[in-house]
Amino acid sequence: MSFFTFITGSTKSWQPGLPVNTTTASYWLNWRILLCSLWILMSMVFASILISKHECRKKPEENQEEEPAGVLYEDEVWKPCLRSIHPCWLLAFRVFSFILLLLMLILNVAVDNGTIFLFYTQWTFTLVTLYFGLGSLLSIRGCLQYKNRGDSDEHSDTELGSLGRSSTGRQTGKERRFRKKAGCLAYVFQIIYQMNAGAVILTDTVFWFIIVPFLVIKDYRFNFLLINMHSINAVLLLGDTALNCLRFPWFRIGYFFLWTCVYVVFQWILHACEWIWWPYPFLDLSSSYAPLWYSTVALMHIPCYGIFVLIIKGKHSVLSKWFPQSYRNAHTNTS
């Protein structure tokens, strides 16, 4: 096997044949489209309600015990979860991850051209790459602040600890006075992080448990790019999760739903304008099982996102016990 074959994989096409003509009115005007449209609309309404209700950046009162679920502080986007770890280590990891993912993305485009962006996997992979790129910039800025302030950060941590904590282990109003609220770019970074969390679990789950068995039956030979596109993103995102101290509130699953809905609507518009193959067979609306597929994938968002919530909670539980003095447990919020 040549190196090029190892990279590009099997010469057998995994692409299905052309489906029923998707540019005709009869393809779109039927009960299947109505039901699938209903699932998408319900998902978007559900997501919009969650976001509008909880995405609050209003500054909490000093004597307020509970913080708004969507609150974010500036230092949470670049500080590691352990005080004993220098922020430069998180920066180095993010820069390495960004370069690696960007190179893989460029190589994939060079091998398979722009058609790779028909796939949800590539949308998610690009979003993960953007996350690490933006994270690198925020970490650079944070490390410069850390260097300029010197030991004041450690003094601030000590001072905050001396103020005490609420009975729930979260910060009190007095503690919050010492911290600067995050800006718009940091909030975008946080939202992308939580979108990626669910999307990566979803894409890798669908690929390894649904698509791979189908391709094995077709005797398709997997390649280096295909395997790594559905594994390295999860590995790097979990690595960043282990290091960072970002919050993970439940309500931002709404952005995850919206991300998938935008992809599906894009596919519908594309297929209504041009007769091409569907990137995923279960998106084909000509099947009588299409409404079942769409509803199943929609429901899969909840456990996929929930898995990452459990990972965050597990990290909090373990590190708070192993490193009680060093762990920034006040930054973890999965409510």
pLDDT digits (tens, 9 = 90+) for 214-270: 777 766 666 777 778 888 999 999 999 999 999 999 999 999 999 999 999 999 999
pLDDT at 18: 65
DSSP, res 267: H
First to last CA, the chain: 51
Both tokens assigned to 90: 């998180």
CB-count exposure of residue 58 (10 Å: 0-12, 13-18, 19+) = exposed
> CA 78, CA 146: separation in Å to the nearest integer?
10
pLDDT at 1: 40
pLDDT at 211: 78
Adjacent-strand bridge partners of 82: 327
Q: Give me the average pLDDT of each 10-residue run along the chain (335 residues).
A: 42 59 91 94 94 71 64 90 93 97 92 88 95 97 86 50 46 58 90 96 87 73 76 94 92 96 96 91 90 93 95 92 81 47
pLDDT at 214: 74
Letter string b/e over residues 200-211, b meaning 16 or more CB atoms within 10 A of that residue's CB: bbbbbbbbeeeb
CA distances from 222 to 178, 200, 215, 236 (A): 53, 20, 9, 21
> CA 108, CA 225: separation in Å to the nearest integer?
7
pLDDT at 112: 81
CA distances from 67 to 60, 61, 137, 238 (A): 6, 9, 27, 26
pLDDT at 334: 52
pLDDT at 213: 78
pLDDT at 60: 52
